[in-house]
Amino acid sequence: MSGAREEILGRIRTALLAGGGDAGLARKEAVRPALQQDPVTNFVDKLKAASASVTRVPDLPDVVEAIADYLQHHHLPTALVIGNDPPLPELAWPADWELARRPAAGDDHVSVTGAFAAIAETGSLVMLSGPGHPTSLNFLPDDHIVVLRASQVVAHMEDVWALLRARDGGMPRTVNIITGPSRTADVEQTIQLGAHGPRRLHVVLVAG
Amino acid sequence: MALTAREFKHQAEVALHDVNLQRALAKAKGGFVAKRRAAVAALPEFEEIRTAARAIKNHTLANLDAYLEQFERKVEESGGKVHWARTPEEACETIQGLIGSEPRQVLKGKSMVSEEIDLNHALEQHGHTMVETDLGEYIIQLAHERPSHIIAPAVHKTREQITDLFHTEHPKYGLTQPVTEVGAIVDEARQVLRTKFLNSEFGITGANFLIAETGSTVIVTNEGNGDLSQILPRVHIVTASIEKVVPTLDDMSTLLRLLGRSATGQEITSYTTLSTGPRRADDRDGPEEFHVVLLDNGRSTMLGNEFRDMLRCIRCGACLNHCPVYGAIGGHAYGWVYPGPMGSVLTPLMIGLENAADLPHACTLNGRCQEVCPMSIPLPDMLRALRFKEHERRITSARSRGALRAWAYLARRPRLYQAVTGLAMRVLRQLARGRGRFRSLPLAAGWTGSRDLPAPQGKTFQAQWRRR
Amino acid sequence: MSEEKKNVALFVTCLVDLFRPNVGFAAVRLLEKAGCRVSVPAAQTCCGQPAYNSGDRKTTADIARQVIRTFADYDYVVAPSGSCLGMLKEHYPRLFPDDSAWGPRAADLAERCYELTSFLVEVCGCMDIATSLPASATYHDSCSGLRELGIKQQPRSLLGQVEGLQLSEMEDTEVCCGFGGTFCVKYPQISERMVSDKVDNIIASGADMVLGGDLGCLLNISGRLKRQGSKVRAYHVAEVLAGMTDLPAIGEADGE
Ligand code: SF4
């Protein structure tokens, strides 16, 4: 709207000259909650508390087997839509699996992606959109499997921002901080998983 | 939106007799309170974080113009566009302009600002089809109702009512069996909405925060609908009010630690999503256009008066959940977009005190809202400040002003006061005739309608003391 | 001279003055027992909340000036009410923001004034209650006392000294009873719902007595209890602490 910007900013400036509110509180260094245990253990506990599941494996070559177990356990197909973010390019997939490297479609069952980082404080995964990680992989399939290295776990959300600021290319279009599967409590405050996004979230956590 | 705040008293009485509403409220009440209490108890640093959060917001508000300009610059650097709107009408016109005149299906994530500007109504007038995608919002859209709670829009609905609603509305999608279990209800909504997600060109979401540092808009959700509403359509439009801006990502992190805990007792919700500009050149999904509509609607005025602290509000809903009046009557009785304590402050400021004269008074000033407000907003003081304004502008009823004047006349004349009250109490005592209480009393029907009035002991303290 | 008696003025509060003088006398007895010299200035009426909470700032300021003047010459001002005392302590100073005469006087009063139980515990130190009441009681936390003045443990620790008295906490004891001054007559139906919830919790606690520190809440609660035909009796905490529960409970007939 023509003039709206100037008028709003002008009104704000006038209002600020008038003062008001409790302005007398100095800004200070914000507090980050102390972790009760080491970051990786804390991460795993919080992740589980958020109704996600986790398999810990010693090394990268063990990842595919862990995924295979997960698929079998939940009677899921070996047709996957996958990202191309680290460490996925290093994985050796079975020849007879059907892998699609593309954004997710409405009827994909399982996606596999990496993550940019993970947050110990809350058990969250942090996903950045990019050519190797279309955001739809995080939301459309019923099962979302994330391959994460233990070294990617940071203590607090602020540590993620520091990594992000240090990264080339600035902010990606989308940053998703994901803590457990999709859920809703809109029917009688009863928590139900799998509202619109994934019904299950599984993390394969690679040591080291 | 339909403004019925003038009818508060009547609506409250209707609500108190609405069996379904009372059942739903009874179910919801304890849950929110207990979950918040547990979450706060589990974070020893809560109070420190609360103080820091308040300082962040105060600092931001004191420099609001600069942070909004920084935010705008960053949005534009990342390829998005910021639109400023002074009024709800301007905001709706802007969004209508972005969508165009051809009728479209428009996805909506939950946004209280869009309720404030009555966006659905405005866009439907232009022939667009609005699809609310948050389950609670979807339910009340089917019921042609409005949210009754800022974070749990359908909290007033029982499961049975939702079952009936789906059974009436979903046969057109071939879903003809009634669904009664929570899981089945959620699944059916998922199924219906999935096709809509995949076939819409426009998606509108709100914003819990705007980050000046990066030009990001942030939504905090559990369902994932707000994400699907912005990554699948071609155009993502964000509706946000100007006080949502915070300086940095770190500042947002501090506020997030309070938001989830205060709202639902969650340390963090399932999804916290930062959206910065449209999709990048090498992205393989995401919107091609990104627009942020910044709404003022009276906030710049609040910034300069005694209501500035209200702009710290992060819309967590804790004040609603802990308000005994809200707990008794639910959100619709308040008659506009924002209910409960925060609504009783905002509504008169946004739609005019004379249109919502009851709201500042419909409160016992018990202070529980302020006690739980993560942003330490002095809600009772603000309600009192609104009462001062009503009194100054003579919006209060002539009867109550008359009674107040008579009482004040006496209260300022101790001798006369003691003579009159001494006599009155002796008369009351006589009238009670040893029963100790009145079941009804002329002029005290407001009291005796629902409780007995204890009779005075007889002589006043003052009268007895003088004789001691 | 630390041995000198504290010079205390009792702010009776209008509801106690009119409806339940026994609470005032109980307060006097407790203060005297705690070693204070108690005066009751004659020129007192009300703290001004009816005007304040109705939005009439001018009348409120008039009454506040009267109260400040009346209580100017005492070491301490004590009231058996968290609500009225909250008014004196928290709100009077805000009535005179730019008034160089009355602002400091309001602040001075705020410094010297106390709610009864907090005065007994915090200023008089651990006094010896030395009374007994074989009964079970539950305590309702009044909102202003709790949230403006931090009154929570003080009455409980004093009641803990009453021989034979069993305290059992009710659910939601910190939730408002629905009195709210003029609120309860302006919005009687909402108030009724709130006081009904409160009464349900009182009855569920199993106690045969409900105690509180504010007569407004107690009139509301006892009125609802009686309307529902409940046998639970309501007393002000001062009456129990002073051993002055020999008269009928609030709202009860003689010999009920
Ligand atoms: S006023 Fe406070 S408690 Fe209420 S919604 Fe806003 S931030 Fe939450």
Residue-by-residue pLDDT tens, chain B, 468 positions: 578 999 999 999 999 999 999 999 998 878 999 999 999 999 999 999 999 999 999 999 999 999 999 999 999 999 999 999 999 999 999 999 999 999 999 999 999 999 999 999 999 999 999 999 999 999 999 999 999 999 999 999 999 999 999 999 999 999 999 999 999 999 999 999 999 999 999 999 999 999 999 999 999 999 999 999 999 999 999 999 999 999 999 999 999 999 999 999 999 999 999 999 999 999 999 999 999 999 999 999 999 999 999 999 999 999 999 999 999 999 999 999 999 999 999 999 999 999 999 999 999 999 999 999 999 999 999 999 999 999 999 998 888 889 999 999 999 999 999 999 999 999 999 998 888 999 988 778 889 999 999 999 989 999 999 887
The domains of chain A are located at 1-28, 37-206
**Nearest-atom index, ligand 1, CA of B369:** 3
Contacts of B292 (CB under 8 A, 6+ apart): B75, B80, B81, B82, B83, B207, B210, B217, B237, B238, B240
CB of C46 closer than 8 Å to CB of C67:
no
Write the burial class of residue B81 (CB in 10 Å: 0-12 exposed, 13-18 middle, 19+ buried).
middle
| Count of domains observed in chain B | 2
Do C118 and C132 fall into the same domain? no
Q: Does B329 touch chain C (CB under 8 A)?
A: yes
In whole angstroms, give the CA distance from residue C239 to residue C230: 21
Q: Do A8 and B84 touch (CB under 8 A)?
A: yes
Nearest CA in chain B to C144: B366
Give nearest CA residue, ligand 1 atom 8.
B316
- Determine the Cα–Cα distance for residues B190 and A194; give it in Å rounded to an integer: 8
Residue B405 lies in a domain: no
Q: If you measure CA to CA, which chain A residue comes closest to B302?
A: A15
Is B334 domain-assigned?
Answer: no
* CA–CA dist C64, C69 (Å, integer): 8
Chain A residue at shortest CA distance from B271: A178
Domain assignment present for C180: yes
Is B255's C-beta closer than 6 angstroms to any atom of ligand 1? no
Q: Which of A116-125, B436-445, C135-144, C151-160 has the lowest mean pLDDT?
A: B436-445
Position A25 pLDDT exceeds 70: no
Q: Within a domain: residue B194?
A: yes
User: A37-206 belongs to which CATH class?
Assistant: alpha beta
Residue B293, class by beta-carbon neighbours within 10 Å (0-12 exposed, 13-18 middle, 19+ buried)?
Answer: buried
Model confidence, pTM: 0.96
List subunits contacting chain B, requiring 3 or more Cβ pairs under 8 Å: A, C
Measured between alpha carbons, how far is C73 from B207 in angstroms, rounded to an integer? 57
Domain co-membership, B124 together with B250: yes
Cβ within 8 Å of B, C 144-183: 144, 147-148, 174-176, 178-183
Which of A27, A106, A189 is nearest residue B59 as measured by Cβ atoms? A27
Is B366 within 8 Å of C176 when comparing Cβ atoms?
A: yes
DSSP-derived pairing of the beta strands A200-206 and A124-128: unpaired
Q: Domain for residue B260, yes or no?
A: yes
Whether B342 is in the pocket of ligand 1, judged by its Cβ within 6 Å, is yes
CB–CB of B218/B276 below 8 Å? no
Clarify whether residues C20 and C59 are in a common domain: yes
> Which chains have at least 3 CB atom pairs separated by less than 8 Å from chain C?
B
Same domain, C222 and C143: yes
Q: Quote the ligand 1 centre to C180 CA distance (angstroms).
A: 22
What is the count of structural domains for chain C? 2
CB contact under 8 A, B267 and A198: no
Of B281, B299, B317, which residue constitutes the final position of a domain? B299
Nearest residue on chain B to A84, judged by CA atoms?
B284
What 3-state class would DSSP assign to A203?
A: strand
* Cα dihedral B274, B278, B281, B284 in deg (nearest 10): 70
* Residues of chain B contacting C185 with CB distance shorter than 8 Å: 444, 446-447
3-state secondary structure of A151: helix
**Which residues are CB-neighbours of B181 under 8 A, at least 6 positions away?**
none
Domain span at residue C81 reads 6-122
Mutation test residue for ligand 1: of B50, B209, B315, the one with most atoms within 8 Å of CB: B315
Is the backbone of residue A173 left (phi > 0), alpha (psi -120 to 50) or beta? alpha
> Ligand 1 atom 2: the closest Cα is on which residue?
B373
Nearest CA in chain B to A15: B304
- Touching, C vs A (3+ Cβ pairs under 8 A): no
Which domain does B436 fall in, by range?
413-467
Distance, CA of C198 to CA of B318 (rounded, Å): 21
* Mutation test residue for ligand 1: of B57, B313, B326, the one with most atoms within 8 Å of CB: B313
CATH number of the CATH domain containing C171: 3.40.50.11810
Do C206 and C98 fall into the same domain?
no
Single out the residue in B299, B334, B366 at which a domain terminates. B299
Is there an interface between A and B (3+ Cβ pairs < 8 A)?
Answer: yes
Contact yes or no for A71/A93 (Cβ under 8 A): no
Q: H-helix or E-strand containing A177?
A: strand A174-178
Q: Do B291 and B434 sit in the same domain of this protein?
A: no
Please state, as a whole number, how many other Cβ atoms lie within 10 Å of the Cβ of residue A178: 29
Neighbour count for residue B267 (Cβ, 10 Å): 20
**A182–B296 C-beta distance less than 8 A:** no
* Residue C11 sits in the same domain as residue C30: yes
Nearest CA to ligand 1 atom 3: B373
SS3 letters across chain B: CCCCHHHHHHHHHHHHCCHHHHHHHHHHHHHHHHHHHHHHHCCCCHHHHHHHHHHHHHHHHHCHHHHHHHHHHHHHHCCCEEEEECCHHHHHHHHHHHHCCCCCEEEECCCHHHHHCCHHHHHHHCCCEEEECCHHHHHHHHCCCCCCCCCCCCCCCCHHHHHHHHHHHCHHHCCCCCCCCHHHHHHHHHHHHHHHHHCCCEEEECCCEEECCCCEEEEEECCCHHHHHHHCCCEEEEEEEHHHEECCHHHHHHHHHHHHHHHHCCCCCCEEEEECCCCCCCCCCCCCEEEEEEECCCHHHHHCCCCHHHHHCCCCCHHHHCCHHHHHHCCHHHCCCCCHHHHHHHHHHHHCHHHCCCCCCCCCCCCHHHHHCCCCCCHHHHHHHHHHHHHHCCCCCHHHHHHHHHHHHHHCCHHHHHHHHHHHHHHHHHHHCCCCEECCCCCCHHHHCCCCEECCCCCCHHHHHHHC
| Rg, C-alpha atoms of chain A | 21
CA A34 remoteness from chain centre: 22
Cα distance between residue B79 and residue B291, in whole Å: 9
Report if residue B431 sits inside a domain. yes
Contact B198 A174 (CB under 8 A): no
> Is there a contact between B52 and A31 if contact means CB atoms under 8 Å apart?
yes
Q: What is the mean pLDDT of chain A?
A: 94
Retrieve residue B96's tokens.
């209508």
Q: Would an 8 Å CB–CB cutoff place B379 in contact with chain C? A: no
Residue nearest to ligand 1 atom 6, measured at CA: B313
Within the 59-98 window of chain C, which residues sit less than 8 Å (CB to CB) from chain B? 59, 62-63, 66
**Ligand 1 centroid – CA B374 distance (Å):** 7
Distance, CA of C197 to CA of C203 (rounded, Å): 10
Query: Is A98 buried (19+), middle (13-18) or exposed (0-12) by CB count in 10 A?
Result: exposed
pLDDT in tens, A150-207: 999 999 999 999 999 999 989 999 999 999 999 999 999 899 999 999 999 999 999 9
- Whether residue C107 is contained in a domain is answered as yes
